Amino acid sequence: MIKGKSLIEVNDFSLEEIDDLLSFAGKIIDSEKNYSGLCKGNLIATLFYEPSTRTKFSFESAILRLGGQVIGFADAMTSSVSKGESLIDTIQTISCYADLIIMRHPKEGAPKLASKNSSVPIINGGDGGHQHPTQTLTDLLTIRQLKGPISNFTIGLCGDLKFGRTTHSLTKILLKYPDINFVFISPEELRIPEYIKEGISNNRYQETFSLESCIDTLDILYMTRIQKERFFSEEEYLRLKDSYILDMNIMKMAKNDMIVMHPLPRVNEIATEVDQDDRAVYFKQAKYGMYVRMALISKILGKGGN
């Protein structure tokens, strides 16, 4: 049961709890109006210690669509943090006011520390380059809504697979589902780390540099941005940043029912012409992100049934 639990990393929830959550999100998508007052009377704090327009808006729209109310800050400098208050003290104070705290913090492990010092549940909205569990839940809901049960497909993960936390946590959770094959598409310098591959049997994955060579085998293509902030040298970033540009010429080689996902924001890796293709689902994915957060918030507050 998710009620009263914190979500710091996806592994905090069992597969059964995740499936239950995704089913509930599916019900909200089918009849959103039925759930519009579900969290009426609940006050939820969003503590964003670093800017994140997308995640903050997604959480806050989820809360408002459930009829809940929001307090919080979008910049640590406008809070008592600027006076030197510790994270532990802030959390102990805010947990006196709110029923649930959603936080993003630049330091890794900050939400875990918060959950040890809070009297209310904590949802991790991203801690540096470490964990971003609601992005993974978003990805799972997108797959489930658009491709049916999470099993028996081939997913290609493309771009920065070395530093991209999104692809790491998605791969790790998908390994718990049956009959999923992986194609890791990246430049040599940005290959998926060994410790992620260790969990996958050899016949279930392949690695390649070339997107064109494998796109016809994919049921899902998960594109990622090559992140400038991960590079020590500007020169290396410039050399690798446009390693992959998905355009309609490449899309022509893909299956008719393949879907293209992306955690957003995108830079150059998907040409805007692809947005018009029905297989491009990344904006739909952002919408599913709001729905999965609605389901998560309700369930943690004990409002979504068992």
Partner 1 sequence: MINVSKLKKGIVIDHIKSGNGYKIFSQLGLDKLEDTVVLLKNIPSNKMGVKDLIKIENDIYLDLTVLGLIDSGVTINIIENGQKKEKIKLELPKKVYGILKCKNPRCISTIEDVGDIEFTLVNPSTKEYQCEYCHEKTKL
How many residues bind to partner 1 according to rule CB under 8 A?
15
What element of type H or E holds 17? helix 15-30
CA separation for the pair 65, 290 (Å, rounded)? 9
Quote the CA–CA distance of 96 and 117 in Å, as a whole number: 12
Cβ(121)–Cβ(300) below 8 Å: yes
- Compare residues 110 and 140 and give the one whose CB is closer to partner 1: 110
Nearer CB in complex with partner 1: 85/242: 85
- Which lies closer to partner 1 via its Cβ, residue 67 or residue 129? 129
CB of 88 to partner 1, least distance (A): 7
Q: What is the longest distance spanned by two Cα atoms in the chain?
A: 56
CB of 106 to partner 1, least distance (A): 8
Provide, rounded to whole angstroms, the least separation between the CB of residue 145 and partner 1: 30
Report in angstroms the alpha-carbon separations of 243 from 56, 247, 264, 280.
30, 13, 17, 20
Reference 20, options 5, 34, 33; nearest CA is 5
How many Å apart are CA 119 and CA 159, to the nearest integer? 40
Identity of the residue, 105 or 147, whose beta carbon is nearer to partner 1 in the bound complex:
105
Amino acid at 142: T
Select 105 or 144, whichever has its Cβ closest to partner 1: 105
Distance of CA 169 to the CA centre of its chain: 9
| Segment lying near partner 1 (by CB under 8 A), choices 17-25, 82-90, 251-259, 275-283 | 82-90
Q: Which is nearer to partner 1, 136 or 154 (CB)?
A: 136
- For residue 47, state whether it binds partner 1 (rule: CB under 8 A): no
Minimum CB separation of residue 124 from partner 1 in Å reads 12
230 binds partner 1 (CB under 8 A): no
How near is the Cβ of 86 to partner 1 at its closest, in Å?
Answer: 6
CB of 100 to partner 1, least distance (A): 20
Nearest to 208, CA basis, from 180, 181, 236, 187? 187
Q: Which is nearer to partner 1, 113 or 294 (CB)?
A: 113
The interface with partner 1 within residues 83-142 (CB under 8 A) comprises 86-88, 105-110, 112-113, 127-130
Q: Which is nearer to partner 1, 132 or 147 (CB)?
A: 132
Minimum separation from the CB atom of position 171 to partner 1 (A): 16
Which SS3 state, helix, strand or coil, does residue 184 take? Answer: strand
- Taking the complex as a whole, the smallest distance from the CB of residue 271 to partner 1 amounts, in Å, to 33
How far is residue 229's CA from residue 220's CA, in Å, rounded to a whole number?
27
Query: Residue 58 and residue 232: Cα distance in Å, rounded?
Result: 31
The answer to whether 237 touches 226, Cβ cutoff 8 Å, is: yes
Contact residues: partner 1, CB under 8 A? 86-88, 105-110, 112-113, 127-130
